[in-house]
A and B are shown apart, each in its own frame.
Chain A
Amino acid sequence: MHDKTLTQLAASLKSGEFSSRELTAHYLQKIEKTDGKLNSFITVTGEQALDQAEAADKARAGGGDTGILTGIPLALKDIFCTRDVKTSCGSKMLDNFIAPYNATVVEKLSAAGTISLGKTNMDEFAMGSSNENSHFGPVKNPWDLKAVPGGSSGGSAAAVAAGLVPAAMGTDTGGSIRQPAAFCGITGLKPTYGRVSRYGMIAYASSLDQAGPMARSAEDCAHLMNVIAGHDVRDSTSVARGVPDYTETLNAPLSGLKIGLPKEYFGDGLAPEVEKAVRDAVKMYESLGATVREVSLPHTHYAIPAYYVIAPAEASSNLSRFDGVRFGHRCKEPIDLMDLYKRSRAEGFGEEVKRRILIGTHTLSEGFFDAYYTKAQKVRRLIRQDFLDAFEEVDVLMGPAAPTPAFDLGAKKDPVSMYLQDIYTIAVNLAGIPGISVPAGFAGGRPIGLQILGTHFAEAQLLNVAHQYQQATDWHLQLPAIAEENA
């Protein structure tokens, strides 16, 4: 069962080949046997999952209008608030936090009849590119246990890649869906900013955060997008705009598709084997009828500097609510309120989170605000304009999702070298456009991701373009050896 895509599983549930309870039990068993090696889950909600599965089976048996995803097990990045279930955000700060409400995404998935197997591991507060910043320990890459799975949605990516769950929800602030999807050989979509509600998703950087699906195929992602996309009255930044049926256009032919290759995405620092895989993929597209040309995104190299002003600034403010007063970690025996704040936060937050809070606090403070924050916001506009200009000329942009395949655990000790991992993904969040990472080959046994970018609200097109590639290749269907253990 675990080698099937979500789309295939949905068909099997519909035909009655097996029940949701059987399917759910199968995945729970796989998690129990395998996840000790991967550490992809923080919390597994087995009992609840089985109850939900039985309810889904009943709903199906009763006929009526059950959605296509009824009875499909999923996993949620531990950044989404789930009622009565621990929601830690990968942090000691929230190790004791049982969320009193569901995120909108969680509500929608539940209403669609899906089953939650549990909450996946992540970099603390979504700050990281390797999943090594989790209070609950690092996640291992299912393709190579010495390698990182990427981050911050590393648990979701690893769980899907290892066949522990058919699909999972992630979030992407600077590449946190696309880069781990690339590292783990799965398909991950970061939608347009505002396409999916952020309500109940613990904020890292509010103007950049966006939730999206991580699954085996673009088709799977399309099914999930049909459920999670749409306006939410509880999120002012969510967009009131019609949601298409993302599965409807998956099979549109690609003849005449204009692909742009940003020259800045193929320069220094790009591993040759990654470049080769990406260029091979582009050739495949040409064979499918697309035309290719080089374009320029001249401000690409300023994306990381701009991001490391804007994201930490927003984060420093967003994370102020974790003060040990109403929820979360509180230090023992505070002598006064100041002591309570300072020690609770020092004990509750990990190093990377503190670093970003300090950077954000510093750059927003008097005397530095204009030089850093205002400047970064101006550069942000230039970066967005680069993309808008490019999309005047081409339909989609293609390039690598990350400069290298997954690196080894512990390989990047210096924060700045870690930040540079996100060189190809981060500008996308600053511009608010959608991007998808699809498996496009391997190097040394580790997967390589092709990143496809579209203009605002071009998710249907990205899924179509990715799906056509997946009809012509089978990179996305390959499974790591660990997925076959205990099968």
Chain B
Amino acid sequence: MQWETVIGLEVHVQLATRSKIFSGASTAFGAEPNTQACAVDLGLPGTLPVLNEQAVAMAVQFGLAVHSDIAEVSVFDRKNYFYADLPKGYQTSQMYHPIVGPGEVEITLDDDTTKRIRIHHAHLEEDAGKSLHEDFLGMTGIDLNRAGTPLLEIVSEPDMRSAKEAVAYLKAIHAIVTYLGISDGNMAEGSMRCDVNVSVRPKGQEAFGTRAEIKNVNSFRFVERAIAFEVERQIELIEDGGTVVQETRLFDPERDETRSMRTKEEANDYRYFPCPDLLPVVLDEAYLDHLRSQLPELPADKRERFQSELGLSAYDASVLSASREMAEFFEEVHHVCGDAKQAANWVQGELSGALNRENLSITNSPISARQLGELLSRVMDDTINGKAAKQVFQALWNGQGENADEIIETKGLKQVTDTGAIEAMIDQVIAESPAQVAQYRDAEPDKRGKMIGYFVGQVMKASRGTANPQQVNGVLKAKLDALL
């Protein structure tokens, strides 16, 4: 039988606010345990929440970016359950009236086709703390620094049909939130976490199969692997005559499998009700207009513009718009040097290669976009040739100069285009290479083209790489042919 996979994602994005969603404690990552858990975060008796305006603004920005309806009135509810790292015995969330309504995201697949994935809604909620299971005399330690960090939970419709689509969707969400600057998107630090709903159905069947929810799949690679495993498990199960049960499963990256979380499932009844300590959040049109006017250009728009206005290929446009940092770097290089293709080639070629070799992100590039742009300007105005440009790039990378001009100057890399100077060098090379000149003269005419390479090399060497190679080629050929 042919099976079809149906996937929906719930993505939790930690919003990059300075303070927590309901308190003035810092959200900075990596502090000593419980040093950033204030009275409100700890749920001390009598403490009350006050909503962070930036968390609201960030949620709205996301909503606008995915063309959602923003709720004029949204309401916080309490999700009641006991857990060691949940200080109040409830999580403040939005069950019935989320701030971001239905929207959609366009994803690009490997074959450059696009597909729209619908967003069901996105809501604001508070993060829980962390349980540390290292041995404290058989006890678990609770760190509540993370408790109260604002989360935007983005819930998709079950619109994805393969692990690749799911990954593309997750990447698209990642690009949007990082473009907006509402999250650092750092999956390793838990800034973006993903629950995956997976089911399978016979191809052609309309009704969905029973789904399993895979919790906490926290990298793009894991999403792909967890789905692959889960799909195979479900199909095998059904083909062996079994049925899929609706349950929560955990992905184990070490064993590359998902397994049932039999625990705590038993009696979940979250008893959602409106949080009486918070009032309805009311947003007016003027507020939305204000945020709309401040939205940056988003990845899909950028990709489109890179193609239509800058004439980049679909591939280049897609790579260069994938992250905000990459796009901004590229655009700055382009802005300085004025040539999009040249900028695209260097950012994706020389620069990306060097970054990869040293395992650096583009934000930590030793060469700034301005420096690279200036370097390319010098290639384009023929101040230096391509070979010298690579030398300048390396020197800039190593911090051997402030800018390209300085390095060109100190290293004497300026391209020689003075015909007299070039002719003089050529004359000297010809004079010093009687054997090669003789070979050239005696060679079959169609072999001479290759033999000229030797003379070009010698001239370039003599000019320490600064001679204009095309010019050298032309003059050499004329002079050698004159000797025939």
Question: Within the complex, are A and B direct neighbours (CB within 8 Å)?
Answer: yes
Q: Chain A: residues with CB nearer than 8 A to chain B?
A: 80-81, 87, 89, 94, 97, 99-101, 103, 198-203, 205-207, 233-237, 313-314, 316-317, 319-323, 325-327, 337, 341, 361, 364-366, 369, 373
Which single member of B47, B87, B90 contacts A199 (CB below 8 Å)?
Answer: B47
A261 CA / B48 CA spacing, docked (Å)? 37
Cα-based distance from A314 to B42 in the complex (angstroms): 19
Q: Which of A81, A199, A233, A323 contacts B89, CB < 8 Å?
A: A323
Contact indicator B271/A321 (Cβ below 8 Å): no
Q: How many A-B residue pairs have CB under 8 A?
A: 97
Given contact pairs A320-B80, A364-B80, A206 touches B46 in the complex (Cβ within 8 A): no
Q: Once the chains bind, are B39 and A317 in contact (CB under 8 Å)?
A: no
B458–chain A nearest beta-carbon distance, Å: 79
- Given A87-B45, A199-B48, A321-B89, 12 other A-B contacts at CB below 8 A? A235-B50, A236-B49, A236-B51, A317-B78, A317-B89, A320-B89, A326-B42, A326-B87, A337-B140, A341-B82, A361-B271, A369-B271
- Contact yes or no, B43 A326, CB < 8 A: yes
Q: A100-B39, A202-B45 are in contact. Are A373 and B87 (CB under 8 A)?
A: no
Contact status of A202 and B46, CB under 8 A, knowing A320-B89, A326-B87: yes
> Interface on chain B toward A: helix, strand, loop, or mixed SS?
loop
- Are A365 and B271 interface neighbours, CB within 8 A? yes
Which residues of the other chain, B, contact A205 by a CB distance below 8 angstroms? 276
- Residue pairs across A and B with Cβ atoms less than 8 A apart, 6 shown, are A81-B46, A89-B45, A316-B80, A317-B90, A326-B42, A327-B45
- B271 smallest CB distance to A (angstroms): 4
B84 at the interface (CB under 8 A from A): yes
Tell me, yes or no, whether B132 is within 8 Å of chain A by CB: no
Once A233-B50, A325-B84 are accepted as A-B contacts, the answer to whether A369 and B273 lie under 8 Å apart by CB is yes
Q: Which of B27-76 contact A (CB under 8 A)?
A: 39, 42-51
CA distance A213 to B140 in the complex (A): 45
Instruction: Assess whether A234 is in contact with B48, with CB atoms less than 8 Å apart.
Output: yes
Nearest B-chain residue to A203, judged by Cβ: B46
Residues of B within 8 A of A365 (CB): 269, 271
CB distance from B130 to the nearest CB of A (A): 14
What's the least CB distance linking B117 to chain A, in Å? 31
* Known contacts A317-B78, A320-B88; A99 and B48 CB within 8 A of each other: no
Q: A87 CA to B46 CA in the complex, in Å?
A: 11
Chain A residue with Cβ nearest B78: A317
- Complex Cα distance, B49 from A369, in Å, reads 24
Residues of chain A with a CB closer than 8 A to B47's CB = 199-200
**Total interface residues in chain B, CB < 8 Å:** 28
Given contacts A199-B47, A200-B46, contact A317 B273 (CB under 8 A): yes
8 Å CB interface, B77-117 against A: 78, 80, 82, 84, 87-90
Task: Collect the chain A residues with CB atoms within 8 Å of residue B82's CB.
Answer: 320, 323, 341
- Distance in Å: Cβ of A345 to nearest Cβ of chain B: 10
Cα of A325 to Cα of B128 in the assembled complex, Å: 15
A321 CB contact (under 8 Å) in B84, B88, B273, B277? B88
Cα–Cα distance between A162 and B277 once the two chains are bound (Å) = 36
Q: Are B87 and A234 in contact (CB under 8 A)?
A: no
Q: Report B-chain residues with C-beta under 8 Å of the C-beta of A341.
A: 82
Please name all residues of chain A whose beta carbon is closer than 8 Å to the beta carbon of B140 when the two chains form the complex.
Answer: 337
Establish whether residues A321 and B39, one from each chain, have CB atoms under 8 Å apart when the complex forms. no
Query: For the complex, would chain A's binding face be called helix, strand, loop or mixed by DSSP majority?
Result: loop
A243 and B152 CA atoms in complex are apart in Å by 38
Residue of B nearest to A101 (CB): B39
- Do the beta carbons of A236 and B277 come within 8 Å of each other? yes
The 7 tightest CB contacts between A and B, nearest first, are: A320-B89, A206-B276, A364-B271, A207-B276, A321-B43, A200-B46, A202-B45
Q: Which residues of B contact A103 (CB under 8 A)?
A: 46
In the complex, what distance in Å separates the CA atom of A422 from the CA atom of B50?
32
> A residues within 8 A CB of B88?
320-321
Asked if A99 contacts B45 (CB within 8 A), the reply is: yes
The CA-CA distance from A237 to B276 in the complex, in Å, is 9
Complex Cα distance, B119 from A129, in Å, reads 50
A320-B90 in contact (CB<8A): yes
Once bound together, how far apart are the Cα atoms of A23 and B82, in whole Å? Answer: 48
Asked, given contacts A99-B45, A100-B39, A317-B89, whether A373 binds B80 with beta carbons under 8 Å apart, the answer is: no
CA distance A234 to B46 in the complex (A): 11
| B273 x A364 contact (CB < 8 A) | yes
A99 partner residues in chain B, CB cutoff 8 A: 44-46
Q: Does B142 contact A (CB under 8 A)?
A: yes
- The answer to whether A101 and B44 touch across the interface, beta carbons within 8 angstroms, is yes
* Minimum CB–CB distance for B132 against chain A, Å: 14
CB-based contact B271/A236 at 8 Å: no
Query: From residue B141, how far is it (CB to closest CB) to chain A in Å?
Result: 11
Q: Which residues on the A side are within 8 Å of B277 (C-beta)?
A: 203, 206, 236-237
Kindly name the residue among A201, A202, A206, A317 whose own CB sees the greatest number of chain B CB atoms within 10 A. Answer: A317
Interface residues of B in 266-301 (CB under 8 A from A): 269, 271, 273, 276-279
Cα of A235 to Cα of B278 in the assembled complex, Å:
9
Name the CB-closest residue of B to A207. B276
Q: Are B273 and A313 in contact (CB under 8 A)?
A: yes
Nearest-CB residue, chain B, relative to A209? B276
CA distance A323 to B140 in the complex (A): 15
**A200: which B residues are within 8 A, CB to CB?**
46-47
Chain A residues near B276 (CB-CB < 8 A)? 205-207, 237, 314
**Nearest A residue (CB) for B45:** A202
User: A326: nearest residue on chain B (CB-CB)?
Assistant: B42
Residues of B within 8 A of A237 (CB): 48, 276-277, 279
Q: Is there contact, CB below 8 Å, between A235 and B89?
A: no
In the assembled complex, the CB of B328 is this many whole angstroms from the nearest CB of chain A, namely 37
User: A369 to B45, alpha carbons, bound, how many Å?
Assistant: 26
User: A236: which B residues are within 8 A, CB to CB?
Assistant: 48-51, 277-279
- CB of A317 within 8 A of CB of B142, answer no
B269 partner residues in chain A, CB cutoff 8 A = 365-366
A415–B140 CA distance with the chains assembled, in angstroms: 40
Instruction: Tell which of A101, A198, A316 touches B48, judged by Cβ atoms closer than 8 Å.
Output: A198
- Looking at the assembled complex, report how far the CB atom of A453 sits from the nearest CB atom of chain B, in whole angstroms: 22
Residue of A nearest to B268 (CB): A366
Complex formed: what's the CA distance from A100 to B46 in Å? 11
Q: Which residues from chain B contact A207 at a C-beta distance below 8 Å? A: 276
Report which residue of B46, B47, B78 has the largest number of chain A beta carbons within 10 angstroms of its beta carbon: B46
CA gap between A366 and B271 in the complex, in Å? 7
Q: Which residues of A contact B271 (CB under 8 A)?
A: 316-317, 361, 364-366, 369
| A201 neighbours in B (Cβ, 8 Å) | 46
Closest to A321 in B: B43
Q: Which residues of A contact B48 (CB under 8 A)?
A: 198-199, 234-237
Closest B residue, CB atoms, query A199 = B48
Give the CA-CA distance A326 to B46 in the complex, in Å.
14
Residues in chain A near residue B90, CB distance under 8 A: 317, 320
Contacts of A316 in B (CB 8 A): 80, 271
B114-165 contacts to A (CB < 8 Å):
140, 142
Against A, the Cβ 8 Å flags (1 = close, 0 = not) of B417-461 are 000000000000000000000000000000000000000000000
Chain A residue numbers with a CB within 8 Å of B49 are 236
| CB-based contact B45/A325 at 8 Å | no
Per the bound structure, the CA–CA distance linking A97 and B273 in Å amounts to: 29
Q: Chain B's nearest CB lies how many Å from the CB of A371?
A: 14
Q: Give CA–CA (A341, B278) in the complex, Å.
A: 27
Nearest Cβ on chain B to A140's Cβ, whole angstroms = 27
B45 & A234 in contact (Cβ 8 Å cutoff): no
B142 touches A234 (CB 8 A): no
Is B45's CB under 8 angstroms from A94's CB? yes
A101 to B50, CA, bound (A): 18
User: Which of A87, A99, A326 has the most chain B CB within a 10 Å cutoff?
Assistant: A326
Quote the shortest CB–CB distance from A201 to chain B (angstroms): 5
By a CB distance below 8 angstroms, the chain A residues around B142 are 325
Chain A proximity of B426: nearest CB distance (Å): 81
| Residues of A close to B42: CB separation below 8 A | 326
What is the distance, in angstroms, from A81's C-beta to the closest C-beta of chain B? 5
Give A99 to B42 CA distance when docked, in angstroms: 13
CB distance from B200 to the nearest CB of A (A): 29
Considering the chains assembled together, what is the distance between the CA atoms of A317 and B271 in angstroms? 9
A100-B39, A341-B82 known; A199-B46 Cβ under 8 A: yes
